[in-house]
Amino acid sequence: MQKRNLGSTNLKVSEIGFGGIPIQQVNQEESNKLINHLIENNINFIDTARGYTVSEELLGNALVGKRDKFILATKSMAKTYETMKNDINASLLNLKTNFIDLYQCHLIKNKEEYNLIMSENGAYKALKEAQDNGQIGHIGITVHSLDFLLSIFEEMPFKTIQFPYNILETQGEELFKKAKLKNIGVIVMKPLAGGFLEDSELALKFVLNNPNISVAIPGMYAQSEIEKNASTSKFIVLSETEKQKIKEIQETYSNDFCRRCGYCMPCPIGVEIPGSLMMAGYFIRYNLKEWARSRYETFPKRASDCIACGACLPKCPYDLNIIEKLKEVKNIFGK
């Protein structure tokens, strides 16, 4: 397994990391085996989150006696000082460690949320305190909106960014070049497009061919997935046949895949369009039915509230039939 620099953090991370969302599906015994398998396959980067139900706890129990083998990252959607402080303490407790290498502000959507976390009583203050106290090493941010991330890029204090990148979501490539020049680590979320891309070997080879990324974190919950994904790191040169297949995938699905760019928002009725489509994907492709449903039900307005006004359609740069996709979401969740 090749290792890459995680920006200016001085951390050397395996170019394939472990995404901690789907581990929610397995028990503690299997989680322990997965951690051992990561060690055997030289994967040293783990990414989880406060919002992934039992993910932190499963990983924390499995890491007992093996913590020094890994660079550990987690994240929180907390926006205020107190809530972030509580989440940091909860993460340390759940992960059974006194030190987390990277703690990230999770899913910051817009400048309003950014200003909140950076305010006098914002989440960033709690992260800096934890860093000063030796509880965390570095601070990062995870974002889905390219325009928003570019708008804060020159001022933001974060050492890493986590952003979607895969065969169907290439909008971040120029951003990654900028990050490389500023020595900011790039963590690629959704390298398999949230499970949409079935050929994981081709998908990961595509991502790893970008020299500006530090690590890709496909979600894994089976030992066979770890072996297969780890082996991809050894052979990342794309053949002409593979390049042609990538082109065909892009041409076939470019108008059928939501990149969560947010251009369709705001919805006149208040439907959370990108979030609804994303939760439907987790429900179907990750088999995280209960988690996806619980997250979906937190949205004030859901797919069933869509009145098919069509206001979102001309705003989508990928010409997705959003109305029909929301009907599919309604059928999946029943509301």
Q: In the chain, what are the domains? A: 3-237 (3.20.20.100), 273-333 (no CATH)
> Closest Cα partner for 193 from 272, 277, 107, 276?
277
What integer pLDDT is reported at residue 287 of this predicted model? 79
Long-range contacts of 172-181 (CB under 8 A, 24+ apart): 172/146, 173/210, 173/212, 175/146, 175/149, 175/150, 176/210, 176/212, 176/213, 177/212, 178/153, 179/7, 179/212, 180/211, 180/212
Backbone angles phi, psi at 120, to 5 degrees: -55, -35
* Cα–Cα distance, 186 to 129 (Å, whole number): 24
* Cα–Cα distance, 294 to 300 (Å, whole number): 13
* Cα–Cα distance, 262 to 151 (Å, whole number): 15
Encode the chain (335 residues) as per-residue pLDDT tens digits.
Answer: 899 999 999 999 999 999 999 999 999 999 999 999 999 999 999 999 999 999 999 999 999 999 999 999 999 999 999 999 999 999 999 999 999 999 999 999 999 999 999 999 999 999 999 999 999 999 999 999 999 999 999 999 999 999 999 999 999 999 999 999 999 999 999 999 988 898 999 999 999 999 999 999 999 999 999 999 999 877 788 999 999 999 999 998 877 888 888 889 999 999 999 999 989 988 988 778 999 999 999 999 999 999 999 999 999 988 899 999 999 999 999 98
What integer pLDDT is reported at residue 237 of this predicted model? 86
What integer pLDDT is reported at residue 256 of this predicted model? 82
What integer pLDDT is reported at residue 285 of this predicted model? 83
Torsion over CA: 92, 123, 52, 219 (sign): negative
What integer pLDDT is reported at residue 259 of this predicted model? 85
Torsion over CA: 295, 298, 301, 302 (sign): positive
The one-letter amino acid at 186: V
What integer pLDDT is reported at residue 198 of this predicted model? 86
Backbone angles phi, psi at 176, to 5 degrees: -65, -35
What integer pLDDT is reported at residue 304 of this predicted model? 95
Instruction: Note the pTM of the prediction, 2 decimals.
Output: 0.92
